[in-house]
Amino acid sequence: MGEQTADRFADDPAFAVHEGGKLSVTPTRSIDSIADLALTYTPGVARVSSAIAAEPDLARRFTWAPRVVAVVSDGTAVLGLGNIGPSASLPVMEGKACLFKDFGGLDAVPIVLGVTDVDTIVETVAAIAPSFGGINLEDISAPRCFEIEARLRERLDIPVMHDDQHGTAIVVLAALRNAARVVGREIGDLRVVVSGAGAAGVACTKILLEAGVGEIAVADSQGVLHAGRGDLTPTKQWLVEHTNASGYAGTMVGALEGADVYIGLSGGSVPEAAIAAMAPGCIVFSWPTRRPRWIR
Number of compact structural domains in the chain: 2
Q: Are strands 215-220 and 223-224 parallel, antiparallel or unpaired?
A: antiparallel
- CB-CB contact of 153 with 127 (8 Å): no
Question: Is the domain of 106 the same as that of 54?
Answer: yes
> What range does the domain containing 145 cover?
13-163
> Tell me, what's the pLDDT at 145?
94
| Residues 210 and 240 placed together within one structural domain of the fold | yes
Does the pTM of the predicted model rise above 0.85? no
Distance CA 170, CA 185 (A): 20
- Give yes or no: residues 39 and 142 share one domain: yes
Looking at the structure, do residues 157 and 197 belong to the same domain, yes or no? no
pLDDT at 293 (0 to 100): 44
> 163, 198, 213: which is the final residue of a domain?
163
Residues 230 and 132 in one domain: no
pLDDT average per 10 residues of sequence, the chain (296 residues):
63 91 92 96 96 96 95 92 95 96 94 98 98 96 93 97 93 96 94 94 96 94 92 91 94 96 88 94 78 43
Q: Which of 130, 163, 196 is the last residue of a domain?
A: 163
157 lies in the same domain as 172: no
pLDDT reported for residue 4: 53
Is 91 found in the same domain as 43? yes
Question: Both 144 and 173 in a single domain?
Answer: no
User: Are 143 and 19 found together in one domain?
Assistant: yes
If asked whether residues 150 and 185 sit together in one domain, one would say no
Q: Do 225 and 142 sit in the same domain of this protein?
A: no
Is 156 part of any domain?
Answer: yes
The CATH number for 223's domain is 3.40.50.720
Quick one: angle between helices 144-155 and 163-182, nearest 10? 110
- 6 domain-assigned: no
- Residue 3 has what pLDDT? 52
Tell me whether residue 3 is in a domain: no
Residue after which a domain boundary falls, among 163, 187, 217: 163
Domain containing residue 91: CATH number: 3.40.50.10380
Residues 156 and 223 in one domain: no
As annotated, the active-site residues are: 41, 96
* Strand 261-264 versus strand 283-285 pairing type: parallel
- Does any domain span residue 1? no
